[in-house]
Structure 1
Amino acid sequence: MKQGIDQAYVTAFLEQLLQIPSPSGYCHEIMQVIEREAKKLGLGMSYMNKGGGLITVPGANPNRVTGLSAHVDTLGAMVRSIKQSGMLRLTAVGGYMMNSIENEYCKVHTRDGHVYEGTILTTKPSVHVYPEARELKRDELAMEVRLDEVVRSADDVAKLGIGVGDFISFDPRVQVMGNGFIKSRHLDDKAGVAAIFGLLELLARTATQPANTLMVLISTYEEVGHGAAYLPPQIDELLAVDMGAMGDDLTCTEHDVSICAKDSSGPYDFHMTSKLIELAKREGLKYAVDIYPQYGSDASAALRGGSDIRAALIGPGVHASHGMERTHIEAIVGTAALLAAYVQEPAQTINPSL
């Protein structure tokens, strides 16, 4: 099935998604793009109250529903306060190191629809002026946004319509390279969304019906921990698609499909995970099985939210997660291919006594 995934389609759609600002809680624009893309594939999308989307693909067995999830929300920030100097103090949206956004270009999105450019700096941004600039601890208190507007006071900022609680998005700095590497902020988890749409495009193009009905959840609050905390009750199992981490004693690379056996929410379903490993071998995919103790997913949120489901987690390997990330198109296409193999498998009969 790997050969059936349209790599050019996946790459182009991923690049489009990466360019759209979508920090957690500010995903209305990108969800409209998701909805339009689903319609191009002949699929409708309904909205959940939190702003996430549900796309349903009828299966040969309508009595069994397999959920797939990925999230379009990303790391970002909000305006915490406006300083008398005209600088903006920020508060983080999602978990990242403050030094990872130092000197990054950003955008401030106001409640009335205006967008202003700026740069994230420390409060002591010049070694020519501040002898402690190098040793300054990078935390929220030490970071601020310099607006690319003539502002010399808090009143000047207020006149622009910028206020406390406005969203701040980071310049993704997208680069799609000729050798297959893709480097950008927010591959977590827009690469996973692109992989799911690679599957949906394949099903539409080949008029293939999945074995079970598919319900695809595109969530908008994963980075703050509750993306899929609620699942439609008809979902029997959830396969979350999110980035695979790299480093330390992990074996995943940027070319691999990550199969996560356990994360901060505990072990994933034995039978689902075993089937995914079996299918990755059968399809000849590059894959790695790893443990992510500092990691949570939409599946984690669903389980903690009380959903009576089986759950598993896969995704493309991503280097430097929550920083300047990089992956390879091979890992994204491989993830889509593993999804294609999985959704064509009939429902497993599980013996709870095993």
Structure 2
Amino acid sequence: MEFEELKAQINTERMIDSLQKLIETPSVVGYGKEITPMLVDFAISHNLLYTMDRRRTIYLTITGLDPSHTICFGAHLDTIGMVVRSITEEGWLDVRNLGGVNFHSLEGENVTIHTRENGNYTGTVICKSHSVHVFDDARSRERDFAEMAVVLDEDVNSPEEVAELGIEPGDLISVDPRFVRTKAGYIKSRHIDDKACVAALLEAVSVMQEAGLQPACDVMLAFPINEEIGQGGRFVPENVDAYIALDIGLVGGLQHGSEKKVTIGAADRISPYDWDLTTKIRSIAKENQIDAVLDIYYRYASDATAAMNGGANITAATFGMGTMSSHGYERTHIDGIVNTAALALACMLEIDGDALDPQFG
């Protein structure tokens, strides 16, 4: 089967439906109890072996034609959010950020507080000078975690009343995504980073299985829940030769990404990615007429970088759909997600042991 025909088998509606379900399932940094079962269900329905390490990263394994080499495709499940720091005298929640939260974007957003014993509560993110009719500095006050709070949707007016709800410091806070699909094919939502890449990766696996194909090497799919704090790929199983992080590309400024294309990262704020593996991925995109662009990233690092920082003996690369307003209310296009799924599929089928073994010169 020619790859163009195989690419046409990507089921866009199934993939976007999966994306919406992933996005609307809370998974703030460190909180995987609601979303991990979705990956287990996928593994069971596709007859894949699934395991979990002590960092609560779930792995799905696909047997390849060459079991002597393993390539790991990582796409993180966690999203940026907050954690309860303390309770104010008014019964508000003081918070700290989890990951690179942009509070200018977050102000006024609805959130869910996950307690350890009493379920979930809802609330709203506010600046402590929350009204232009009340506070002289409502417009000028800094929007940072020390100046922000969460107001609960409960009749509470003191720390004691909040404590009675079972809310306490250390509870995690998820941000509502507000998923929208437009007629022109744009996806607008929080948490496109990185759930669009998760959906693309799962669709690539589904297409490969439905076509009765095997990857060139053994494939491991990794879904960390702590990438947004730089820890997602720091542990890599010893049998992994290469780690390809599927994570969003960037749009705007000096970036070369587009929402309709898949971006192949050549370097990020820490280091360049592996020259040979990145060149191979770029060649695969060109040969298979996948709409891709090469780019470098400014304030960005992926799980593949984290894997290298953690001392893993791997080659590293990254790619993903171009995304606007990263770490805010994000936007991408279905075409970019399809191109990402297509590139993941092509890489699984074409990157073999020869491409993974290091070469001299």
Asked if the contact 1:229/1:298 (under 8 Å) is kept, the reply is yes
1:25 aligns with 2:6: no
Give the aligned residue type for 1:314: F
Give the aligned residue type for 1:184: S
**Partner of residue 282 from structure 2, selected from 267, 277, 286:** 277
Over aligned residue pairs, what C-alpha RMSD do you find?
Answer: 1.1
1:353 aligns with 2:355: no
Cα distance in 2 between the residues matched to 1:308 and 1:18? 32
Asked if the contact 2:112/2:120 (under 8 Å) is kept, the reply is yes
Paired position in structure 2 for 1:227: 232
Query: 1:197-216 to 2 correspondence within 5 Å?
Result: 197-216=202-221
Asked if the contact 1:42/1:204 (under 8 Å) is kept, the reply is no
Paired position in structure 1 for 2:109: 104
1:113, CA displacement in angstroms? 4.3
Cα distance in 1 between the residues matched to 2:285 and 2:359? 25
Paired position in structure 2 for 1:305: 310
Paired position in structure 2 for 1:44: 49
- May I ask how many residue pairs the two structures share in their alignment? 354
Asked if the contact 1:2/1:283 (under 8 Å) is kept, the reply is no
Asked if the contact 2:63/2:215 (under 8 Å) is kept, the reply is yes
1:255, CA displacement in angstroms? 0.3
Asked if the contact 2:22/2:35 (under 8 Å) is kept, the reply is yes
Output one character per residue of 1:116-174: Cα deviation in whole Å (capped at 9) or x when no partner: 11100011111011111111111111101111100011111011110011111111001
1:205, CA displacement in angstroms? 1.2
Q: Could you say what secondary structure the match of 2:340 adopts?
A: helix
Paired position in structure 2 for 1:80: 85
| Unpaired runs of at least 5, structure 1 | none
1:184, CA displacement in angstroms? 0.5
1:347, CA displacement in angstroms? 2.4
TM-score (norm 1): 0.98
TM-score (norm 2): 0.96
Cα distance in 1 between the residues matched to 2:246 and 2:143? 32
Q: Could you say what secondary structure the match of 2:123 adopts?
A: strand
Cα distance in 2 between the residues matched to 1:209 and 1:351? 23
Give the aligned residue type for 2:283: E
Output one character per residue of 1:279-334: Cα deviation in whole Å (capped at 9) or x when no partner: 11112121111110311111011000001111110001110100010111111111
| Unpaired runs of at least 5, structure 2 | 1-5
1:68 aligns with 2:73: yes
Asked if the contact 2:81/2:101 (under 8 Å) is kept, the reply is no
